[in-house]
Amino acid sequence: MKIGVICVSDRCAQGVCEDRSGKLMLELVADLADETVYRLVPDERLEIEFALCNLADDEGADVVLTTGGTGFAPRDVTPEATLAVIDRAAPGISEAIRQKSLAVTPNAMLSRAVSGIRGKTLIVNLPGSPKAVRESLEVVLPVLPHAVETMSGNTQNCGGNYGK
């Protein structure tokens, strides 16, 4: 499985601070991924859209995980960029992440993160803090192999058809 990671952060893109969340993502997906690709972009909608499309269409990533830009700040536009490039929504993934996060902090309800499919690539927005990335990936990582398998057209193991 090829996994792309995009850190969306003005400060990290400007070199003002280090991207800890994106680097943590790369570590946490290492066992699952055959290959990883990393991008760092500022909170600019067109740059986020370009990075998403590049990883999905040109790099052939099976999954693209973003970190950052999902809150209420005026420059938080990752969900809008994601919605602009996906073909189909996958709201259950983001709902599951929020549900788990709500058990930790009421601020989780302020997440505007979205998930969806572009072609055969699953795109999932995650929060920007390393702690939230770790918690979110605990929810997402177990379902990624099945998601990638079904997006590729292999539905043999779907809907209780295991082994049939």
CATH, residue 119:
3.40.980.10
20 within a domain of the structure (yes/no): yes
62 within a domain of the structure (yes/no): yes
Task: Copy the structure tokens of residue 21.
Answer: 């969340």
157 within a domain of the structure (yes/no): no
Task: Copy the structure tokens of residue 36.
Answer: 């990883």
Count up the domains in the chain and report the number.
Answer: 1
75 within a domain of the structure (yes/no): yes
pLDDT of res. 51: 98
Task: Copy the structure tokens of residue 108.
Answer: 């989780």
Cα within 13 Å of Cα(118), Cβ side: 27
Q: Which of 52, 44, 65, 80 is nearest to 1 (CA)?
A: 65
CB 141 within 8 A of CB 110: no
Arithmetic mean of pLDDT, 19-27: 98
Look up the domain containing 24 and give its range.
2-151
26 within a domain of the structure (yes/no): yes
pLDDT digits (tens, 9 = 90+) for 107-164: 999 999 999 999 999 999 999 999 999 999 999 999 999 999 999 887 666 655 554 4
74 within a domain of the structure (yes/no): yes
Q: Which of 82, 139, 133 is nearest to 112 (CA)?
A: 82
Arithmetic mean of pLDDT, 16-38: 97
Report the C-alpha dihedral over residues 109, 143, 50, 57, rounded to 10 degrees: -160
**What size, in residues, is the chain?**
164
Measure the CA–CA gap between 41 and 43, rounded to whole angstroms. Answer: 7
CB 65 within 8 A of CB 5: yes
| Residue 87 identity | D
156 within a domain of the structure (yes/no): no
For the entire predicted model, the pTM comes to 0.94
Q: Looking at the predicted structure, is the pLDDT value of residue 67 above 50? A: yes
42 within a domain of the structure (yes/no): yes
